[in-house]
């Protein structure tokens, strides 16, 4: 699994362990769900930028914790350039919101960042939580991956 991590705005900096944690969580999803040849782009950001994106793309006028933009959901034809890479899409994670939620929930930022990455990756793979049955399935998958990461619910 190729995990491309960037930050926006570019002047934002984050501890290396945040970056390593996101990468490990994305790679674990790739391994567990058979998309080791996948590629995901992850942007670490702040509440102001994710708020702007949330309003633009979801018409929700507030910051959120993670946004997922799946490339495999569209009706556009797949481009076959002879590469064996499955570009899954993009994740945008508000590190600021993750830190707030970790404090609110009484667990580590490590756990929250891993959880948000897993949650977003599952969206890229087609999981959703709009209906009760989907929500239950997605929650079970999240628990499964978090346990495999060695970061069960605290």
Whether 125 is covered by a domain: the verdict is yes
Does residue 137 sit within a domain?
A: yes
Domain that holds residue 27: 2-148
154 inside domain: no
Q: Report the CATH number that the domain containing residue 138 is assigned in CATH.
A: 3.40.390.30
- Return the SS3 of 70: strand
Check residue 73 and give its pLDDT: 55
- Tell me whether residue 103 is in a domain: yes
Q: Is residue 18 part of a domain?
A: yes
Q: What is the pLDDT of residues 52-92, one digit of tens each?
A: 999 999 999 999 999 999 987 544 334 444 456 689 999 99
Residue 22 lies in a domain: yes
Predicted confidence at residue 75, as pLDDT, reads 41
Tell me which of 1-15, 34-48, 78-92, 112-126 is least confident: 78-92
Q: What is the mean pLDDT of residues 21-29?
A: 98
In a domain, 153, yes or no: no
Which helix (H) or strand (E) segment holds residue 135: the answer is helix 132-148
Percent share of the chain, pLDDT over 90 = 86
Domain count, the chain: 1
Provide, rounded to the nearest whole percent, the portion of the chain with pLDDT above 70: 91
Tell me: pLDDT of 150 over 50: yes
3-state SS record for 95-116: HHHHHHHHHHHCCCHHHHHHHH
- The reported pLDDT for the residue numbered 89 is 96
**Average pLDDT of the residues in 118-131:** 94
- Span 90-115, average pLDDT: 97
**Best CA proximity match to 18, nearest among 86, 89, 102:** 102
In a domain, 93, yes or no: yes
pLDDT number for residue 71: 87
Q: Coil, helix or strand for 19?
A: helix
């Amino acid at each position: 699994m190729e995990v491309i991590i960037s930050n926006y705005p570019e002047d934002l900096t984050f501890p290396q362990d945040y970056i390593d944690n996101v990468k490990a969580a994305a790679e674990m999803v790739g391994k567990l769900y058979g998309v080791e040849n996948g590629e995901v782009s992850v942007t670490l950001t702040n509440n102001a930028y994710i708020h702007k994106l949330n309003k633009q793309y979801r018409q929700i006028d507030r910051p959120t914790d993670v946004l997922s933009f799946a490339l495999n959901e569209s009706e556009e034809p797949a481009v076959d350039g002879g590469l064996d890479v499955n570009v899954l899409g993009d994740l945008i994670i508000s590190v600021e919101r993750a830190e707030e939620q970790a404090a609110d929930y009484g667990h580590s930022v490590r756990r929250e960042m891993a959880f948000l990455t897993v949650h977003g990756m599952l969206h890229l793979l087609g999981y959703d939580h709009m209906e009760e049955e989907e929500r239950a399935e997605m929650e079970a998958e999240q628990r499964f991956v978090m346990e495999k990461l060695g970061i069960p619910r605290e």
